[in-house]
Structure 1
Amino acid sequence: MTHPARALLETTTAALAPDPRANELVPRIADGTAPLTTLAALALEQTRVIPADRRAFAFLAERGKRPTRRPRATSRRWPRARRWRVSG
């Protein structure tokens, strides 16, 4: 017996998943009939995306090299109460 949540997830995913044959651009690029403006727009997007991805991956790689801080064994649950002086 399938769990109702799992069945709902599978039917929703199947209904919302894009049809692999629905992308008309890739075959047009492959056979050379795609408009030049479309290729120019894709190239322009990639000139922005690739350097940003490279910076993100470099940041993550550098962060992965740093040692992680261990939590302190003793930590206060509540901050110390401040003492307010009333001047009179």
Structure 2
Amino acid sequence: MNWDDPAERAALAERVGPTEYNRLFSEHLDASIVEWVAGHAIRPVGSRFGRLFTVGNTGYAFRLLTEAQDYARNHPKEEQ
């Protein structure tokens, strides 16, 4: 399954329904984490700009893992 392909994701959602799709997508997100830094999960994603590393749910992504790590360290996630 290519989670970066919208057509494949839509086909999966149609095939398994929303509840199972959400469960599978959540598993994928957890499995794709390469590192935790300052409370942020860092994981690679495919984009129109190529492979990027996202920093948790900050809305930021970087070309290099080291850039994502630096951003996370400088913006630690606050306890909720």
TM range (shorter): under 0.3
Instruction: Give the helix-richer structure, 1 or 2.
Output: 1
Q: When the two structures are superposed, what TM-score results if normalisation uses the length of structure 1?
A: 0.24
Q: Which has the higher strand share?
A: 2
Higher RCO (CA < 8 A, seq sep 6+):
2
Q: Which has the larger radius of gyration?
A: 1
TM-score by length of structure 2 reads: 0.26
